[in-house]
Amino acid sequence: MVLKKLETELKIRGMSKQTILTYVLHCRKFLEFIQKPAEDVEEDDVKAYLAEKMSHDAAPRSVALTKAAITFMTNEIVGKSIKIKTPKIPRSVPEVLSREEIKLLLDHAKSGKHKLIIELLYSSGLRLSELINLKLENLEMDKKHGWVRGGKGGKDRMIILSDKVIEHIRQFCGDRRTGYLISGRGEQLSSRAVQKALDEIAKRAEITKKVHPHMMRHSFATHLLEAGTDIRKIQVLLGHADLSTTQIYTKVSNEELKKIRSPMDAL
């Protein structure tokens, strides 16, 4: 009963399908672990469950997500105020692809669909979930932009579209004006299919990095920053609520600065 209420509340608050599924799954596993009704949950129960996850080397980000799901259920659905401190998630510098590696991926994409996947992830900074949910009716190609509907946190945001991508979208979609932009056999493309395509393309391109959709997004932000784009504009394009999240990309750019030789060395 409580899980159904949780699902309903998340829907009302405009959370994405993936967030709803994730929260419900984490709460279901938690309740199975403690073997008691949600109404009887105590702070120690949550701590015990999180400690159990940590003992199995769960990543800090996974622990934080689990805590967020459980405390949302207890605080918002059950009405119990439970506050637990967990270690801060270390913000590692994201790995990015160089412009040359992006070109290699595009050159080794065998189909128009796979090429378009790479182009959209890189040129618009889309998350994987946003890519597979992107619909033709959300694009305003004559204005060179589109809209992500119900993205992370249930928010809409504008995305930019390059001239090249617009041309390829029109070639790929033909007379279609509605439905998922990139589909598999007429159905919504799966996350697994996208990752599999990237794995195969990266292998053909002989790129040794583990190429994944979010790496394209990291590359989008980093390359914009290196080109002189204001970081606050990048924040909006990425859909970050907090500027500090976007500022991680300044560290990537600083790594590039370290490679520059001082003019004194040329004397």
How many CB atoms sit inside 10 A of residue 266's CB?
A: 6
- Give CA separation, 58 vs 21, 33, 50, 88, in Å: 19, 16, 9, 14
In the annotation, is 204 catalytic? no
In the annotation, is 152 catalytic? yes
Buried b / exposed e along 9-36 (16+ C-beta atoms within 10 A): bbeeeebbeebbebbbebbeebbeebee
Any residues with CB less than 8 A from the CB of 54 and at least 6 apart, and which? 63
Catalytic residue among 26, 53, 108, 152: 152
Separation CA 44–CA 39 (nearest Å): 14
Any residues with CB less than 8 A from the CB of 52 and at least 6 apart, and which? 33
In the annotation, is 127 catalytic? yes
In the annotation, is 214 catalytic? yes
Catalytic residue among 23, 49, 122, 249: 249
In the annotation, is 261 catalytic? no
* Residue 3, token pair as written in the block: 């899980």
Catalytic residue among 67, 114, 217, 218: 217
Catalytic residue among 53, 108, 114, 240: 240
CB contact at 8 A, 205 and 105:
yes
Q: Cα angle at 140 between 138 and 146, to 5 degrees?
A: 55
187 - beta bridge partners? 184
Catalytic residue among 53, 108, 114, 127: 127
CB contact at 8 A, 103 and 115:
no
Catalytic residue among 4, 145, 214, 233: 214
- Residues with catalytic function: 127, 152, 214, 217, 240, 249
